[in-house]
Structure 1
Amino acid sequence: MTNDWLKALTFIVGLAMSLSISAHSQQSVASYAQLDTLARDLSLQFMDATQQLAALPDVERDQRAKQLVNAQLVPHLDLEFSSLKLLGKHVRGLDRQQTAEFTKLIESQLVNMYAQVLIDYKGADVALKTLQTNQGRKFAEAAVEIEKANSERSQLIFKFKQDPQGQWRVYDVVSRQVSQLSVKRQSLVLKISKIGFEQLNHELRQSQRNEI
């Protein structure tokens, strides 16, 4: 191979690497921008939701909290990944159809769980100026500083996972230093151990029918 061929090949390889690095850099910037926008939107919606709930009588609060979660958080939830996290080691014995059904059934349970988080913070002062995002390669989190009327301070953390299409989706919320998904997982794993997965799905179906 002549020196001219070697030079040409080196140039082509270098150009290809440069274009690849440039494309990856642009994707990273776009990915961070999407995460930052989503985290800020969720935080603003959370602040608005807590204020709405504070103005409602107790009898209306639960239903309104669920409506807000369905409208604001559910479209951004990674239900499939959340389901896998909830099932833990038990997912190994299930087929695709069983896990798909569980994913559909568990959605209403997650809505109730996150609605309760909203109710816990009703009327809180959500300080969005302290929003911080921490992005890894496939996982990220955003922390919102919260101050309640009694000057109690805490953080609400949205935990994100990037899906195969590159979109950031929420899979857990940490409230008062407690992972809501972990709490739910403990109760579900204990229940599966006692009654089995099929009976758990049966109870989830019944619960879903009762809510309709």
Structure 2
Amino acid sequence: MLRTFGSILSTAVLVAALGFASPVLRADPATPEQVVQTIADSLDKAVDGHQAELRGDREKLIDVIDDIFLPHFDIDYASILVLGQNARSATPEQRSRFAKAFYKSIAHRYGEGLLNYTRGRVRVLPFKGDLNDKRTIVRTQVVLDDGKLLAVDYAFRKTREGDWKAYDVIIEGISYITNYRNQVTAEIAKTSLDALTQRLETQGEKALESMEATQKGN
């Protein structure tokens, strides 16, 4: 399940997860549905037809991920949710350092999955219901290689600045936040937040792989 979650997250995110092109200037802030559509359109332009170039230049691939996802993803809020109760005892500096290390690790861990992205793979479904500033869900379908459809939902919240930002990706009912919170909580219990952050900074995606393997073993 973790392997499936990770491979789909690479297409969907980081999830969520778990960056996004620079937002288009509008009279009013873009709605969550418009943000997700912008993501899908930006992936079409940035990745489709450029797979070979990006495969040979890892740093450029990460730059593409940052450009497409980061402006629309609330990594600080997401990292607090991933830390769970550990966020309460962490200093602002510790939370900020963890957020950067975790995001970078996610980007490297799932970045190459974007190389399998092809035009039209993400279908943004019509939004239903009312916008909720604390949690609004945008539903999409990801077209897999065999033609099957996978449900991928994005959770958004409205920032103090009035912009909508994603903070979670839910794949077939499995939350990116919940998935990694369990792993992070176990790692911090064994060592410490600072030790985990340092592992993420120095080992990056290998640290995530180790965490996933440990949880799968348990």
Normalised by the length of structure 2, the TM-score is: 0.66
**Residues 115 and 92 (structure 1), Cα distance of their counterparts in 2 relative to 1, 3 Å cut:** same
Q: Which one has a larger percent helix, Structure 1 or Structure 2?
A: 1
Q: Residue 40 of structure 1 contacts residue 131 of structure 1 at CA under 8 Å; is this kept in 2?
A: no
**Larger deviation, residues 122-131 vs 132-141:** 122-131
The amino acid of 2:117's aligned partner reads K
- In the alignment, structure 1 residue 60 sits paired with structure 2 residue 79: no
Match of 1:16 in 2: none
Q: Which one has a larger percent strand, Structure 1 or Structure 2?
A: 1
Match of 1:150 in 2: 146
Q: Which has the higher contact order (CA 8 A, sep 6+)?
A: 2
* Structure 1, gaps ≥5 residues long: 1-28
Distance 1:61 1:155 in 2: 31
Distance 2:57 2:146 in 1: 21
Question: 1:142 Cα shift?
Answer: 1.6
- In the alignment, structure 1 residue 170 sits paired with structure 2 residue 151: no
- In the alignment, structure 1 residue 161 sits paired with structure 2 residue 157: yes
**Residues 167 and 74 (structure 1), Cα distance of their counterparts in 2 relative to 1, 3 Å cut:** same
What is the number of equivalent residue pairs in this alignment?
A: 178
Normalised by the length of structure 1, the TM-score is: 0.68
- In the alignment, structure 1 residue 95 sits paired with structure 2 residue 55: no
Q: Residue 122 of structure 2 contacts residue 140 of structure 2 at CA under 8 Å; is this kept in 1?
A: yes
Match of 1:202 in 2: 198
Where 1:56 maps in the other structure, the secondary structure is helix
Where 1:171 maps in the other structure, the secondary structure is strand
Where 1:199 maps in the other structure, the secondary structure is helix
**Larger deviation, residues 95-104 vs 132-141:** 132-141
Distance 2:173 2:49 in 1: 24
The Cα offsets for residues 149-174 of structure 1, whole Å up to 9 and x where unpaired, read as: 42211123222111111111111223
* Structure 2, gaps ≥5 residues long: 1-26, 207-218
Percent identity between matched residues is: 15
